Amino acid sequence: MNDPLFNEVKNKLDRIPIPEKKLDQAISDGIKKGKLKKQKHFRIAFYYSTAAVVALGLFFGSAFVSPTMAAVISKLPFMSNVFKQKDITSEIFDTLKHKGFKIESAGINYQGKKELSVDVGGSEAYYNDVKADIKEMVMNILHSRNYDDFSVKVSQYKNFDSDISESDKRKEQQTEKLLTAMMQAFQKHHISQQTIGVMNNKYERSINFEVPNTASPYEISELKKVVNDVVENLNMKRFDIKIDKYDVAKREQDYRWGDIISMMTDELVGKKVYKTTGMAYTVHPSPEVIVKTSVKSTDPEAKSFGQQLEKVVDHFLKSNDMKTKIKGDHYKIIIRSKDKKQLN
Q: What is the pLDDT of residues 133-188, one digit of tens each?
A: 999 999 999 999 999 999 999 999 988 766 778 888 888 899 999 999 999 999 99
Looking at residue 81, its pLDDT comes to 65
Domain that holds residue 185: 164-246
Does 168 reside within a domain? yes
CATH number for the domain that contains residue 226: 3.30.70
Looking at residue 80, its pLDDT comes to 55
pTM, full prediction: 0.72
Buried b (16+ CB within 10 A) or exposed e, 178-214: bbbbbbeebeeeebeebbbbbbbeeeebebbbbbeee
Looking at residue 109, its pLDDT comes to 79
User: Pairing mode, if any, of strands 288-293 and 276-282?
Assistant: antiparallel
Looking at residue 24, its pLDDT comes to 36
Does 232 reside within a domain? yes
Does 134 reside within a domain? no
Does 199 reside within a domain? yes
Does 291 reside within a domain? no
Radius of gyration over alpha carbons of the chain, in Å? Answer: 22
Does 193 reside within a domain? yes
Looking at residue 75, its pLDDT comes to 44
Looking at residue 142, its pLDDT comes to 96
Which residues in the chain land under pLDDT 50?
Answer: 4-70, 72-78
**DSSP 3-state helix, strand, coil percentages of the chain (rounded to 5)?**
45, 20, 35
Q: How far apart are CA 284 and CA 257, in angstroms?
A: 12
Does 30 reside within a domain? no
Looking at residue 49, its pLDDT comes to 35
Looking at residue 79, its pLDDT comes to 57
Does 212 reside within a domain? yes
Contacts of 187 (CB under 8 A, 6+ apart): none
**Overall number of domains in the chain:** 1
Looking at residue 46, its pLDDT comes to 34
